[in-house]
Amino acid sequence: MNLNNLHDLKVSIHNTCLEMVQTQLDAIQASLDQLMEAKTSETKSSAGDKYETGMAMIQNQEELYRRQQIEAKGRMNQLKSMDPAYKMTAIDKGSLVVSQLGIFYLSIGLGKITVNDEGVFVLSLESPMGNSLKGKKAGDAITFNGSTSRIEKVH
């Protein structure tokens, strides 16, 4: 990996994260739209039990999608509050970290993604790895799960 291109990599990672969360939001909204359509087309049976059961199931699913939507909007707001162009010296939210253990982007918890043919771990600062990185600088040693590594670059 070309360490001189960290700025461009960080911007690409950030944009990929934004796209991923937007895709999640779009999928949740499509599911909510389908539920609303099902809710309006649900017809009351003569006994009423089937209708009540169907409506309760729809209501439960709607509540689940609404919670997921709130969480995804929160992740989107977190991402939008970060400036990927800002170069950091100490690791904090928005940092891109290169170490022997891998490349880490500390923002929201998305797991491992691939950007520009690079595997990148997108982690929240509250995750165990994010917590062990917080406040460290290039050259500092980090230990995680028994493996010790040196931080090569922070952007």
Q: What is the pLDDT of residues 80-130, one digit of tens each?
A: 999 999 999 999 999 999 998 899 999 999 999 999 999 999 999 999 999
pLDDT at 4 over 90: no
Q: Is 85 part of a structural domain of the chain?
A: no
Asked if 63 and 111 sit in the same domain, the reply is no
pLDDT at 46: 46
What are the Cα distances from residue 79, in Å, to 16, 94, 96, 118? 11, 8, 14, 20
Q: Is 89 part of a structural domain of the chain?
A: no
Can you read off the two tokens belonging to residue 145? Answer: 């799960």
pLDDT in tens, 10-43: 999 999 999 999 999 999 999 999 999 888 876 5
Asked if 145 and 105 sit in the same domain, the reply is yes
The pairing of strands 111-115 and 102-106 is unpaired
pLDDT at 138 over 60: yes
pLDDT at 1: 56
Asked if 13 and 71 sit in the same domain, the reply is yes
Quote the mean pLDDT of the chain: 91
Rounded Cα distance, 51 and 44, in Å: 5
Q: Is 91 part of a structural domain of the chain?
A: no
pLDDT at 47 over 60: no
**Domain's final residue, options 32, 47, 80:** 80
Can you read off the two tokens belonging to residue 8? Answer: 């461009």
pLDDT in tens, 14-23: 999 999 999 9
Task: Indicate the number of domains in the chain.
Answer: 2
41, 51 Cβ separation under 8 angstroms: no
Closest by Cα among 119, 114, 142 to 20: 114
98, 152 Cβ separation under 8 angstroms: yes
